[in-house]
Structure 1
């Protein structure tokens, strides 16, 4: 018998799953907007800061998952970047106009470029582990 996964880390499901970095304040805020939106219950939300590796499913490792937004559609296809955003937006009624816009010719590549630019800036918002102080010197004889 396997241990139950935390609610933030769903196992296999027939609903789309969004994998996000809950340790990134900016990512966490954006996902919170989506999770409050009407229709959010149609998606599964997997906070990678509180998610066992086995909840990631096939084709997704933790390092890749943390490097950019990933989602798995209801049939299990893994997408990332702009395609992951389009999956989220298409699932939420208030964001569906963005999904339709994102499917116009040439728009998705532009979204991917914008997201790649954001990913270069993201470390500015992602907290870094505190520097460990060097151990105190013991000068006693």
Structure 2
């Protein structure tokens, strides 16, 4: 897929079952290939390439726009759903009460998604570390 023609590059946690389900849904509806998906849990993902840390990518959904600027959190989802032609669904999310509620709920989910998706054991929530990179 050519990233030049994408409206957004979405960085998602491929180890999160709910995140994967959402991405798979978006991929099915992205018939014009407006979205490029990058799995931050993939063995070959290197956050340094993007000038961010793995922790920054894990804190909340990140999106990179064609001009190189970044959006995060609920704004990424607004851009994703707009890219697949569901602007009518996105429009109400800008209303003050709805916008604030969505931001709050998403931040809560993002902060606790490891526990909510069964990736914590005995009170320890861990993610697999990125593969060691060989730098020459």
Identify the TM-score tier after normalising by the shorter chain. 0.7 to 0.9
Aligned: 1:65 with 2:57: yes
Distance in 2 of aligned mates of 1:126 and 1:116: 18
The equivalent residue for 2:102 is: 111
After TM superposition, list the pairs within 5 Å mapping 1:66-105 onto structure 2.
66-93=58-85, 95-105=86-96
The equivalent residue for 2:14 is: 22
Preserved contact between residue 39 and residue 91 of structure 1 (Cα < 8 Å): no
Aligned residues: 120
Correspondent of 1:32 among 24, 45, 48: 24
Q: Which has the larger radius of gyration?
A: 1
Distance in 2 of aligned mates of 1:56 and 1:84: 20
The equivalent residue for 2:130 is: none
Q: Normalized per residue, which structure has more strand? A: 2
- Coordinate RMSD, CA, aligned: 2.8
Query: Where do 5+ consecutive residues of structure 1 fail to align?
Result: 1-6, 132-141
The equivalent residue for 2:46 is: 53
